Structure 1
Amino acid sequence: MPPHHEEEEDKPCRACSDFKTWAKLQNKGSKTAPTKPPPPQSKECPLDKEELGKSTWGFLHSMASYFPDKPTKLQSENMSRFFNIFAQFYPCEPCSLDFLDDIQKNPPKTKSRDELAKWLCERHNTVNVKLGKPLFDCSKIHERWRDGWKDGSCD
């Protein structure tokens, strides 16, 4: 479980909020009205919750789709360890705690590429249900994250 710091509890967490919510939290203590987000700039800014989530899922699904088809025992063990460590240090604490709880109930399946990719897709769909987002068809996971769509749109 990630360390919980009381003094950080009241601080706005950009990784736990979308930009609008984060901006409102930044202005919570001030007497000025919340401002609109600045126009897009060429400057790179810290990721908000949605950007972080999308980037993270993309990385994790890509990693699972490139996992060995027949991993060694050590590769399987390391991948399981990776997910448990990853969940402890994910920057959004509510997301981290939720994912830790989910993987304790549904431990990583790392005996093959297909097993890992399906397990991760199911974990992602668990989050999609909680967020009211559509479910992903887990039979298409490698098309989406490794091989490209069968219609050739990624070629």
Structure 2
Amino acid sequence: MPAPDYTETPSNASAALPPGMVLGPDGKPCRTCTDWKSWSKIGKAAKNKESSSSSSSSPSSSGSTDAKTAVAAGAATTTTPASSSFNYEAECPPDREVLGRATWTFLHTMAAYYPDKPSSMEQSTMKSLLSSFSQFYPCGHCAEHLRQEMKVTPPKVESRKELAWWMCGMHNKVNEMLGKEIFDCNRVDERWRDGPADGRCD
């Protein structure tokens, strides 16, 4: 679940990390906790370092064909522009934003199709699912935020409407922290299950 936009690196982070980079529990840069712009700076820095290292270590002799080829190959990898057909979301592992959008789509849709009158077993299963979800969500900071929020406001699983509204409230807490627009929870069925009344989604 998306968490606030962490713009500072933890105190134990390497000074070489760009602003906005978030480290995971293992102390390494966390892709699913970081936006793509911050994450891509790591790749660019690595390519630039590799290119300069390759250039400085190449022999000065003009007769070395292998060295010339290696330097040319290194330059090509760092100067060739990205293909105009490149689709970040379709081709790359998800960053925080992509994962967050997909997660909210799943959670809201799941709540929209939850039973109107769930059995005690269904209620228990939903609570277990959300609890497990908050343990294994790939962004550690986001998962911790969800666990804390669930302690303050436990999931309401007594009916479909209650779960849908609870989910909407949780999403709006995140939206508010990120400075995003608050969603009108009266529209949860329209947005996640029934579609607009004018039928444009049918």
Identity of aligned residues (%): 46
Q: Report the Cα offset of residue 152 of structure 1.
A: 1.7
For residues 87 and 180 of structure 2, the distance between their equivalents in structure 1, rounded to whole angstroms, comes to 29
Q: Report the Cα offset of residue 20 of structure 1.
A: 1.0
| Alpha-carbon RMSD | 2.6
> Which residue does the alignment assign to 1:135?
182
Q: Structure 1 unaligned segments of length 5 or more: list them.
A: none
Q: TM-score, normalised by structure 1?
A: 0.86
> Which residue does the alignment assign to 1:103?
150
> Which residue does the alignment assign to 1:72?
119
For residues 15 and 93 of structure 1, the distance between their equivalents in structure 2, rounded to whole angstroms, comes to 9
For residues 131 and 25 of structure 1, the distance between their equivalents in structure 2, rounded to whole angstroms, comes to 24
Q: Is the 8 A contact 1:62 1:145 kept in 2?
A: yes
> Which residue does the alignment assign to 1:118?
165
Q: Report the Cα offset of residue 41 of structure 1.
A: 4.4
> Which residue does the alignment assign to 1:54?
101
User: Which structure has the bigger radius of gyration?
Assistant: 2
Are 2:192 and 1:145 equivalent residues in the alignment?
yes
Structure 2 counterparts to residues 21-36 of structure 1, below 5 A: 21-27=38-44, 32=49
Residue 38 and residue 98 in structure 1: after superposition, are their counterparts in 2 closer, same or farther (change >3 A)? farther
For residues 45 and 87 of structure 2, the distance between their equivalents in structure 1, rounded to whole angstroms, comes to 25
Q: Report the Cα offset of residue 44 of structure 1.
A: 2.7
> Which residue does the alignment assign to 2:134?
87
Q: Report the Cα offset of residue 135 of structure 1.
A: 0.4
Q: Report the Cα offset of residue 81 of structure 1.
A: 1.1
For residues 151 and 82 of structure 2, the distance between their equivalents in structure 1, rounded to whole angstroms, comes to 41
Q: 2:36 aligns with which of 19, 22, 36?
A: 19
Q: Which deviates further from its counterpart, 21-30 or 44-53?
A: 21-30
For residues 87 and 175 of structure 2, the distance between their equivalents in structure 1, rounded to whole angstroms, comes to 30
> Which residue does the alignment assign to 2:201?
154
Residue 152 and residue 26 in structure 1: after superposition, are their counterparts in 2 closer, same or farther (change >3 A)? same
Q: Structure 2 unaligned segments of length 5 or more: list them.
A: 1-23, 52-77
